[in-house]
Structure 1
C-alpha cells in the first residue's frame, strides 16, 4: 500500500504542476461538433474558388487527432459509452475531413460508427429526442449527402429517421427564427436546411457585440460563411487564438466559473485535502469578486440568467462552507424577479441544472434566512417538475440522464443525511458528472485530460482510504471483543456500524486515533445505554453509576464490571495519547463527562420503571445528555485540541454549538423511536408533546419536533461554519457537524441504527466493495499492489498528508 501512497503524492504533484498558471480554458472539454465547423471554413473570399487549406488548420488537425478508438467524436456517458450527441458530432467531423480530402481512414471509421450505432441510440430515445438533436441530426445527414458521403442506415430505421425529419419540420413551421424559445432557431443556423429562408440581414441583426451568433462557435462559423462579416471573423480568430485546438461549445466562457467548477470537482471527488492551498487561493479571490459584483440592471437572456444562477449559487455554497461570510442576494435577486421566475417555470428543463445548484445552496441555510427557505421551495418544485412523468415523456427533454439521477438523489437523500466518503464514491462512479454549465446542444464539461487524471487520483485515494478503514475496523473489533463488549448477550451489537459512521463522515487527514476513539466511545455508549434500558436492575444501575462517579470498580460484578473496565481502558488510552502528544492531563474532564452521561441513563431508567412523566423541558434536560453525542465528540476532540478544556468546556457548562449537538440527535432519535419506546413504557419528546397537548395527534407532535429540528439545524450550521460563535477551535466544531450528520443519516427518515440490515450495503461500499469505474487506470499495477498489501503491517496506516484545519472543510456535496 505504500506504493499506492507514493503514487498518489506523485500524481498530486503532477496535477498541481499542470494547473499552475494554466489558462482556465484548458480545463474545458472541447466540442467536437463546434471544432468541426471551424475546420470547414474556407479562407477564400469566394466560396466557388478552389479549396487550398482550411482557415483554421489547427481545428482540422484536432479533428484528425481526436477520434476515439471506437470511431466516434463527441461525448460519452458515465461508463465511457458514446451518447446520442456523438451521432451529429461524428457526422460533422467526417464532413469536415471530406471537405479537405484528408483522413480517409478516419472518415471510414466514423461512418461505420454512425451506421453501427444509430439504431442503439435512436431506438432508446425514440419519441423523446431533445429539441437540439431533432434540429441538428437531420441537418448533418443532409450536409453529409451534399458532401458526397454515402450514408447507409439499416432499412428498418427508415421510418424512425423519417419521424425525426418530420419532427424537425414541425419545429421549423411552428417556431420563429428568433423568439422566446432558447436556444432560438437561428442559433442552429449551421444545421438548418437550405430551403429554410434566412437572409443576411436576419444574421447581421442578431450578431452580438463580440461578432458572434449567440456565442455559438458553430453558428458563428456558418454565419461567417454566409455573410463574410469581419465581426464574425474577429470573433472566430479570437476564439481560435484562445483555444488553439479544440474549441468549447460556446465562447466566451466565464473564467471564474471554470475555476469555481474545478474547485467543486476537487471537493466532490474527495480530493480537497490534496489541494488546500489552491482551493483557498481561488476562493479568496472569488470572495472579493462575489461581494463587489454589480447586479444586472434587468433580466437578460435565458442563457445569461441560467449561467449566473448556476455560478452564484455554487459560489455561495462553496464560500459559506469554507467559512466566508456571504449573503445569498446574488442568486436570490433573480428569484425575486417575477419575469425571471416566469421564464424558469416556462423553460424549466433548460434551467434544471441551475435550479439543482440553487437547491444545493439552500442546504447551508442559517436560522432566520426566510428568503432561502422560499428559494428552496421554488427550486424543489422546479426539480420535481423536471422529474415528473409528464416531463420524462416530453420530446423536448434537454437534460442528460446523469443530471436526472443527481436531482433524484438530492430530493431523496438530503445533504444533511449523507456521509462524505460515500458521496465521494457516488461522484467518482458517476464519471460524467463534471458538468460546468449548459451549452446550445450539450453541456460544458471539464477537459478529458484533467478529468482522467483527477479520476485516477480519486480512485487511488478512495482505495487507500478503504485499506486504512479495513485495518482500523479490524482493530476496533479486536478491542471490542477483548473487552467483552461484543458478547454481552443483550442489546445491540453495533461495532461495525459505529466505526463505519465516523470513518465515512470525517475526512481522512484526521489522525487515525480520533476515528478510533470516537468509534470505541460509541460502542461503549451503545452497550451501556442498552444495559440501563433493558438489562440491569435498579440496584445494579445505581452501583454502576456510583462506581463511575468514584471511578472505582472494586464492588462491581458481571456486566457492570465489564462495562466499567472497557470504559476505564478507553479513558486511559485517550489520556495517555493526549499526554504524549499535547502534554495535557485530561483525566478529570473525561471522568466527569462520562459520569454525567451514566447519571442521565440512571435518571431515565428511574422514570421508566417508576412510571414518572417528566415535562418536556425536564425530559430534554436529561435526554440531551443521555443521547451521548457530546460524550463521544468532546473527548475525541481533545486528541487534536486539548485547549478546548480551557474554553470552559465543563459538564453543564457547554457552549451553544455543543448544546445543539446534544439536542438535535435527541430529537432525531425521538421522532424515529417513539413507537418502540411507547411499547416499552418509556417516554420521549414526541410522546410527551401528546400528553401535554390532548387535542394533538401524532402527526402534530412529529411536526412540532421537526419544526424545532429545522431551526436548530440552521443555528448549528451558523455556529460551526462562521467565526465569532463561541471559543471552540474550528476542527472541534467541524467534528460536531460530522457527528450530527451521522445522526441525521441514522434517523432522518427511519431508524436505520436499530436495523440489522439497513446499513449493510453502505458499509460494504464504504469499506470493502471496489469502485465501479470502468476504464480508469490504476496508479499501481495489481501484482505490485498485492505485494504491497501483503507486506504491510497489520497496524493501521498513517495518512501523512498535512492535517491543517482546512482539510476538514470538504463537507459539501454540488
Structure 2
C-alpha cells in the first residue's frame, strides 16, 4: 500500500493545517536495507558456546563472598546475564543460605552489603532494607560519617538505593547520603572517577542492557582489576557483536517494510523507524525475541504516525470521524475519511491485522480483539487531548495523566511484549493486561513524564496542549524549577512501585516484566538530554551506531 502522493494544506473548513516542522529521518534507508550480519557464521557461534561453558564453570566455582558478588555483577553488566540465569540464581541462593541471620545480613563491609542487596533484588530474591541498619547512626536518621571515605562502598550503596520499594526510609536516606558524598569525590584514578560520573549521570538500574554492556566492555578492559577473568571480556565482546548482527538483519527487513509502505514520504509526521527499532531492541534485547522487535517496531511506527495525525494534522471534525473508525474497526466506508488520514488509518488497520495473523499462525490465539480494545483506548485519549487543544482547556495534572499515560502508547507496546515472547497465551492473562496492571501503568507513566520533561517547551511553542510540568505549574502556581522537581519525584515514586511489582511476586512471565522495566529505561535514555525521539541528535544517533552499526573490535 503506497502513501498518498499529495496532501492538502487545507482542512475541510478551508483553514490552514498546522505543521510541527519535524526533522526528516537522519538515516538513509538504502544503507539500512544493506546492513548484513558479520558475526553469525558457524565459527562465531561455536566460539560463543565454548566460552559460555567456561563462564558457567567460573560461576559455579568456590570463591570468597565479595569476589563471587563482583563476578556475578560483571557477568550481568557485560550483558551476559541472559545466558546464565540458572547459574546466577543458584549462586545467589547459596549466598542467602550462608547468611548469619533471618534478615539476610552478614558481617561484611558496606561494599559487599550494598552489592549483595542490589544483586538479590535485581534477581528476584527477598532482602530487607534492614541489612543497612548497622551502618547508620543510633537514631537511624543517617549513615555514619566515617563511611564518607569508603568510595567503593558508597558507589555500591548509591547503585543499590535505586532498587528501593515505596516506604523504605533507609533506602531513601542511602541515596541522599551516597550521592552527596560521591559528587565531592576527586582524585587521579581515572577509572574510578569514570565509574562515579557514569553512575551519577544515570544509575545502572535505569540503564538499558545493551548500552550498559557496550560501556562496561571499555571500562572493564581499562581496569586491570576487573580483567582478572579475561574470558568474561572475550565472551562479552563476541556476544555483543553476534547480537548486533541479529539486530542488523531485523532492522534491514523493517526498513524495506517501511519504504514499501510509503509512509516515510509523509512530511507532516515523524519518520523515526530507526529510533523505534532502537527503542524496542532496548526493551527486549535477547536475540531469540526477534518477533517482538519486528511486531512492536511496526506498532510503534503506527503509534507515532497516529499521534501526529491527532496532534498536528487533523481538524477537530476529521479527528472525531477517525476515532469512530477506530472504534468500529471497519473499512467498508473508508472513503469518508480525507485521503491522507485514510492512508494512515489503513496502515494501522492492516499492520494490526498482519500481526494478528502472525499470532494466530505462531501462537494459535486471536489477539486482534485485544489489540483493537487498546487502539480504541488510544483513539479516545488522543481525541480528548485534541479537544483540550481546540477548546483552549487547561487540564489539571490528574486529568492530564489520566489521558496522557495512555495516549503515549506504552500500553500497546507492552501488550505486544507478552504475546510475542510467550509460547503459551491465556485469555485470563490477555484480559488482565488489557486492564493495565500497575506495572504497565508505572512504566508508561515514566515514559510520559520523562517525555514531558524534555519536550514541553518545544511543544508549547508550536501550540500543543499543556504537558505535565505546565499542568502542575498552572494548578499550583509553583515555579518551573519546583514543578520540575515535583515531576522528577513522581518518576522516582513510579520506579519504587515498579520495583515492588517486578521483583516481588508477580504471576506475569519474566520477559514481560523485563519489558516493563526496559520501557522505562529506554525512556530515561531517550529523554535524558532532550527529545531524543522527536529530535534524534547526537546521543540517539550515537546509541544507534553502538547498537547497530559499530561492532566491538576483537583482536584475532
TM-score (norm 1): 0.59
Deviation of 1:587 after TM superposition, in Å, equals: 1.4
Q: Answer with 715-724 or 642-651: which moved more.
A: 642-651
Deviation of 1:433 after TM superposition, in Å, equals: 6.4
Q: Pick from 458, 475, 478: which aligns with 1:692?
A: 475
Whether the 8 Å CA contact 2:414–2:440 is kept in 1: the answer is no
Alpha-carbon RMSD:
2.6
Structure 1 residue 604 and structure 2 residue 396: aligned?
no
C-alpha separation in 2, matches of 1:549 and 1:327 = 47
Structure 1 residue 705 and structure 2 residue 487: aligned?
yes
Structure 1 residue 378 and structure 2 residue 177: aligned?
yes
Alignment of 1:351-430 (within 5 A): 351-387=150-186, 392=187, 400-415=189-204, 417-430=206-219
What is the match of residue 523 of structure 2?
Answer: 743
Whether the 8 Å CA contact 1:484–1:562 is kept in 2: the answer is no
Whether the 8 Å CA contact 2:161–2:174 is kept in 1: the answer is yes
What is the match of residue 275 of structure 1?
Answer: 84
What is the match of residue 116 of structure 2?
Answer: 315
Structure 1 residue 341 and structure 2 residue 124: aligned?
no
1:22-64 deviations in whole A, cap 9, x for unaligned? 453xxxxxxxxxxxxxxxxxxxxxxxxxxxxxxxxxxxxxxxx
TM-score (norm 2): 0.85
C-alpha separation in 2, matches of 1:595 and 1:361 = 40
Whether the 8 Å CA contact 2:284–2:511 is kept in 1: the answer is no
Whether the 8 Å CA contact 2:370–2:434 is kept in 1: the answer is no
Deviation of 1:510 after TM superposition, in Å, equals: 4.5
C-alpha separation in 2, matches of 1:421 and 1:704 = 30
1:355-398 deviations in whole A, cap 9, x for unaligned? 111111112111111211111111112212223xxxx3xxxx6x
Whether the 8 Å CA contact 2:280–2:296 is kept in 1: the answer is yes
Structure 1's 340 and 683: CA in aligned 2 closer, same or farther, altered over 3 A?
closer
C-alpha separation in 1, matches of 2:217 and 2:301 = 31
What is the match of residue 7 of structure 2?
Answer: none
State the structure with bigger RCO (CA 8 A, min sep 6), 1 or 2. Answer: 2
Whether the 8 Å CA contact 1:589–1:650 is kept in 2: the answer is no
Alignment of 1:146-545 (within 5 A): 255-290=64-99, 292=101, 308-336=109-137, 341-345=144-148, 348=149, 351-387=150-186, 392=187, 400-415=189-204, 417-432=206-221, 445=226, 447=228, 451-545=229-323
Q: Pick from 338, 360, 368: which aligns with 1:587?
A: 368
Structure 1's 611 and 296: CA in aligned 2 closer, same or farther, altered over 3 A?
closer
Structure 1's 648 and 466: CA in aligned 2 closer, same or farther, altered over 3 A?
closer
C-alpha separation in 2, matches of 1:622 and 1:295 = 43
Q: Gaps spanning 5+ residues in structure 2: where?
A: 1-39
C-alpha separation in 2, matches of 1:732 and 1:21 = 28
C-alpha separation in 2, matches of 1:682 and 1:20 = 53
Alignment of 1:37-52 (within 5 A): none
Structure 1 residue 9 and structure 2 residue 49: aligned?
yes
Q: Pick from 497, 500, 512: which aligns with 1:715?
A: 497
Alignment of 1:620-769 (within 5 A): 620-641=401-422, 643=425, 645-647=427-429, 649=431, 653-679=435-461, 680-694=463-477, 696-724=478-506, 727-758=507-538, 759-769=540-550
Deviation of 1:745 after TM superposition, in Å, equals: 1.4
Whether the 8 Å CA contact 1:596–1:651 is kept in 2: the answer is no
Deviation of 1:557 after TM superposition, in Å, equals: 4.6
Deviation of 1:560 after TM superposition, in Å, equals: 1.8
Deviation of 1:411 after TM superposition, in Å, equals: 0.7
Structure 1's 352 and 580: CA in aligned 2 closer, same or farther, altered over 3 A?
same
C-alpha separation in 2, matches of 1:452 and 1:325 = 32
Alignment of 1:751-790 (within 5 A): 751-758=531-538, 759-772=540-553, 776-778=554-556
The structure with more helix, counted as a fraction of residues: 2
Deviation of 1:497 after TM superposition, in Å, equals: 0.7
Aligned to 1:385, the other structure's residue is in SS state: coil
Whether the 8 Å CA contact 2:415–2:433 is kept in 1: the answer is no
In terms of Rg, which structure is larger?
A: 1
What is the match of residue 575 of structure 1?
Answer: 356
Aligned to 2:505, the other structure's residue is in SS state: coil
Structure 1's 10 and 557: CA in aligned 2 closer, same or farther, altered over 3 A?
farther
Structure 1's 293 and 620: CA in aligned 2 closer, same or farther, altered over 3 A?
closer
C-alpha separation in 2, matches of 1:295 and 1:621 = 40
